[in-house]
Structure 1
Amino acid sequence: MHKISKSQFKPRALELFREVEATGRPLIITDNGTPTLEIRPYAAPRANPLEALRGSVLFFTPPEEME
């Protein structure tokens, strides 16, 4: 992760946004050496994995009936 102070970030914001977009690496903005913000590429929320399987089970045999 790349870190940069608020004062250094301000004049280079657009350049740094493009860098984050191109590399996918997050950027940490600091205030007096303390991390305060993180800029990272947007990631759409993932669908619930069980939702993706809904309707895909064609036949189910409960374990107790398999013996």
Structure 2
Amino acid sequence: MQTIQASEFKAKCLALMDRVAITGETWVITKNGRPVAELRPCSGGRLDSPFGLHPTLEIHGDVIAPLDDLWQVLA
């Protein structure tokens, strides 16, 4: 496992995340010489649904087109 200081991690965060995604290696992030966090590849699979926790949700028809029914505004 490789280590990196929190200040350096802050500066290189995005590049390091890309590296971890490609190589699968784990990094330990330290603060004042003490380990505080680990950066490792995500073990869970990604959801195929763009709706997050609602994988069975489906869109039918045009959701952008205007409605045919007029709505009445209550004042």
TM tier, smaller: 0.5 to 0.7
Cα drift, residue 24 of structure 1: 0.3
Which residues in structure 2 correspond to 1:22-61 (within 5 Å)? 22-44=22-44
Question: Highest relative contact order (Cα 8 Å, sep 6+), 1 or 2?
Answer: 1
Cα drift, residue 2 of structure 1: 1.1
How many residues end up aligned between the 2 structures? Answer: 45
Cα RMSD after superposing both structures: 1.3
Percent of pairs identical after alignment? 40
**Following the alignment from structure 2 to structure 1, what is the Cα–Cα distance between the partners of residues 43 and 3?**
21
Match of 1:8 in 2: 8
Structure 1 outlier segments of 4+, above 6 Å: none
Name the TM-score, length of structure 1 as normaliser. Answer: 0.63
Cα drift, residue 32 of structure 1: 0.5
